[in-house]
Amino acid sequence: MSTATEEAAELSGQTTHKWVYLFEEGSGDDKSLLGGKGAGLCEMTHAGLPVPPGLVVTTEACNAFFENDKNFPAQMWEQVQEGLQRIEEKVGKKFGDPQNPLLVSVRSGAAFSMPGMMDTVLNLGLNEQTVQGLAAQTGDLRFALDAYRRFASLFGEIVMGVAHEKFERVMDRYKAQTTGGRDTDLKPKHLRDIIAAEKQIILAEQHAIPEDPYEQLRVAIAAVFNSWMGRRAIDYRRINRIPDSLGTAVNVQAMVFGNMGQDSGTGVAFTRNPSTGKKELYGEYLLNAQGEDVVAGIRTPNPISQLKKELPKVYDEFAAITGLLEKHYHDMQDCEFTIERGKLWMLQTRTGKRSGAAAVRVAVEMVGEKLIDRATAVQRVSPEQLDQLLHPTVDPKTKATVLATGLPASPGAAQGQVVFSPDEAEELARENAKVILVRQETSPDDFHGMVAAQAIVTARGGMTSHAAVVARGMGKPCVSGANSLDIDYSQQQFSVNGTVVTKGEWITVDGSTGRVFLGQVPTMQPTLGPEFHELMSWADKFRRLRVRANADTPRDAKVARQFGAEGIGLCRTEHMFFGDQRLAAMREMILAEGVGAREKALEKLLPLQRGDFVGIFREMVGLPVTIRLLDPPLHEFLPNAEELLSELSELKMAVRLATTLGDMDNLLDEIDEKRRLLKQVNRIREANPMLGFRGCRLGLVFPEVTRMQCRAIFEAACLAQGEKKKTELEIMVPLVSLSEELHQQREVIDEVARQVMGEYGMTIEYRVGTMIELPRAALMAHDIAAHADFFSFGTNDLTQTTFGLSRDDSARFLPNYVERKILPEDPFQVLDRDGVGQLVRLGTERGRSVKPDLKVGICGEHGGDPSSIAFCNEIGLDYVSCSPFRVPVARLAAAQASLAAKE
């Protein structure tokens, strides 16, 4: 119980636990106890606005209900009955009275808005006797019967669990018998028949609506409690990271009726446009209708502006009230209302859900209107909302078929024709075709196809798989780990749940939600207006953490700088070896037998790397650039052994079918080459390559590789400096676990630096550091720091090695772990603070114990996750580094972390 409400209970002399609050008793600040809807109703009641009287059963009661094996806690039901008596006194009606019946609505109301996720019952209290009393009370038999049929269907669906479609079919059958075919055309005889049919449907499922109104209320409250643990509510909370432990409140409120004629109605409106943020009353209403008619699409609602013509006094009153509510709450409001015979009643006010574009515009404009300050504006926009602005999104109104759902690996939306080969993707893209590359998983060999594709879909892999990391870096939508896809390369098709999609068919990928749609689904392009840049300038003033980008090419660097990156925190040199010419030279180096052959191959790679580095330095003038030396296992640059065997089989078959000696000789030469390659692939194959010959181990055994890369880096730095394009150069040694590894690699780096600077007659300032991505490195950071100018935590591999998880293979079971609450989040998406986070904290503290001014950051994918950024801010890191398209999100999250730390 919150302090304000607890004190109120004590002052009133209550000795038992207070489970129920009348609207006039509750506090508008008590959202955690009364739910957002209940707190809003209490606040509006205190303000003297026209709110039908009611009561709130608290979230504590909901949690107690589940703790008590789905039984109400002691005294709760008695408090509900007592509250109901107070409502009866206010409205002059009696619950269950056949002559003058009080009807109530029963609605859910969690602390966080969860639109459409839980359940509502209207017109509760009706039975065969009270419906006659309602008809006499209002002088309108049709209205009373219409209210009863609505109650029967809602109660049957929400409380009894009967499928909504069964009631809908009954309505459609009887509406078809009317002249207009609308629900408002139904006559009393139709309505009586519908009620009888609805009751029969419920009875057929071994249920019956209780005739006792109190029993109706009791089971309806229980049903709302149960809806908190319904599948849709659980899914919504998981996606929006809302704790299950909060519970829902239940609002029991005297009914007011919008279905009493053309001077009655119901509607929903926002104080600003929730899509654009424009300052205008935005919403819909229906005359002669009840609440669910607007949202269920039973009839087409009218825009709220039309209410000014039909009921001008009501419109003016509503506009004035919503204006007051927005000023009171200092935020956009979502309001529900009912008009009963010309009188306006307010049924809800809550913070309105809004799009990313609207969130930014509303926040900035409210600062201009002096409703909020800049710090509040920065905190008001969520990182997820900001992310929407940076990528195309699927039109939320779409009703397209969802083929499959995987991991939302890289945000944005794109349409394209399905292709299964990266070569074909590239060929079709040259002809201006839009394609989507569908693969079991991707490898560096697929890079050209990924570049050509509008989006990527993989059946395997996780949030930090090759496909995910590369797609995020390019700003391309990607869905990974869509394991329901059965991909058949030989037939050039994939199937899912009986649907077969062949090469060339159109699909739409929504990387923001992890969904793959059949066909061309409408998408919306983002626009970055002046409000975006204004908000980001405020965020930059509040944050302490610097934000860099992971960028591997001059193009990536340019995009990163445009999005406000303050340098490059991770340039992965291995990504520069993608592409046919470069990959061929890289393979030549890997397969070389002896130092001489290896150095010859490296000579081909040096100018290519040097050119890339020059381009990056030109884009990042005046900013730090951290270049990581070669890190991945060498097998990643070679063809897959199984694919080579398959190709050999195909070549042998072709030899048998060859018609000329020339063709046969060419095929035999190709077979010899494939066999040689297969032999070399098998020679360097490792049982566990991610823990094998990679990173600094490669540079220590083959120092010529480190020398080539460092020569390319320092020559590029000299060329850039000659053009007055100086940067802050940082060279990072990967996968260090022993201080001597870094020491020896640093000696090679320093030696090459002296050579190149002597040749160019220049002095290049540079730092040498290491990526901390192994638990031992974090534990021994005080030793390693002796040879390091900076640390950068590679949290992708650090998570992998701390948990003992393969980040690709774990996609099979991690979602199950999260669903079963074994893990609160996927640790590859949100930094595991208790385990991996403690290694980051410890490594930072131990490193700085030796070098107090040691610069420390993170460069894993966690660098773009708001929760992980907050942790980095908390433990005093200097910077985070993330994908270019996540830079604005990281800037905002860093500002919010700084502001939260000051509260």
From 844, 877, 805, 835, select the one nearest 569 (Cα to Cα): 877
Sequence-distant (6+) residues with CB within 8 A of 127 are 209, 211, 212, 213
Residue with tokens 């990643």: 636
422: left (phi over 0), alpha (psi -120 to 50) or beta: alpha
Q: Measuring CA to CA, how many Å separate 208 from each of 107, 134, 201, 222?
A: 21, 22, 9, 16
Give me the helices (H) in 205-298, please: 213-227, 231-240, 291-296
Q: Which residue has the tokens 């926040």?
A: 363
Residue bearing tokens 């860093």: 894
> Which of the residues 42, 571, 710, 859 is marked catalytic?
859
Cα–Cα distance measured from residue 111 to residue 109, given in angstroms and rounded to the nearest whole number: 7
User: Nearest Cα to 596, choosing from 704, 743, 465, 724?
Assistant: 704
Sole residue written with tokens 């991945």? 632
In the numeric block, the tokens 């809807």 are attached to 37
Q: What is the DSSP letter of 581?
A: H
Q: CA-to-CA distance for 527 and 512, rounded, in angstroms?
A: 17
Partners of 768 in the β-ladder: 731
Q: In this structure, are residues 28 and 40 in contact, taking their beta carbons and an 8 Å threshold?
A: yes
Helix (H, G, I), strand (E, B) or coil at 442: coil
C-alpha 406/C-alpha 474 separation (Å) is: 20
Is residue 2 within 8 Å of residue 9, measured between CB atoms?
no
Dihedrals phi, psi of 220, to nearest 5 degrees: -70, -40
CA distance 321 to 311: 16
Q: First CA to last CA across the chain, in angstroms?
A: 22
Residue 719 amino acid letter: L
The Cβ of residue 599 has, within 10 Å, a number of other Cβ atoms equal to 16
The residue annotated as part of the active site, out of 466, 575, 635, 787, is 466
Q: In 3D, which of 375, 335, 382 has the Cα closest to residue 360?
A: 382
Taking a C-beta distance cutoff of 8 angstroms, is the pair 785, 381 a contact? no
What DSSP element (H or E) covers 648? helix 641-657
The CA distances from residue 627 to 586, 609, 707, 728, in Å, are 18, 11, 14, 11
Contact in structure between 766 and 779 (CB atoms under 8 Å): no
The residues, ordered by sequence, that sit 6+ positions from 676 with a Cβ below 8 Å of its Cβ are: none
762: CB partners within 8 A, 6+ apart: 718, 721, 722
Place of tokens 């730092």: 767
User: 């699409």: which residue's tokens?
Assistant: 297
Alpha carbon distance 181, 52 (integer Å)? 33
Residue 577, judged by CB atoms within 10 A of its CB (0-12, 13-18, 19+), counts as buried
**What is the rounded CA–CA span in Å between residue 560 and residue 554?**
10
**Cα–Cα dist 709/687, whole Å:** 27
Are 160 and 207 in contact, with CB atoms under 8 Å apart? yes
Contact 436, 511 (CB under 8 A): no
Does the annotation mark 466 as catalytic? yes
Q: Give DSSP secondary structure letters for 14-58.
A: --S---EEETTTS-TT-HHHHHHHHHHHHHHHHTT-----EEEE-
Distance from C-alpha of 260 to C-alpha of 249, rounded to nearest angstrom? 29
- Residues annotated as catalytic (active site), given as ranges: 466, 859
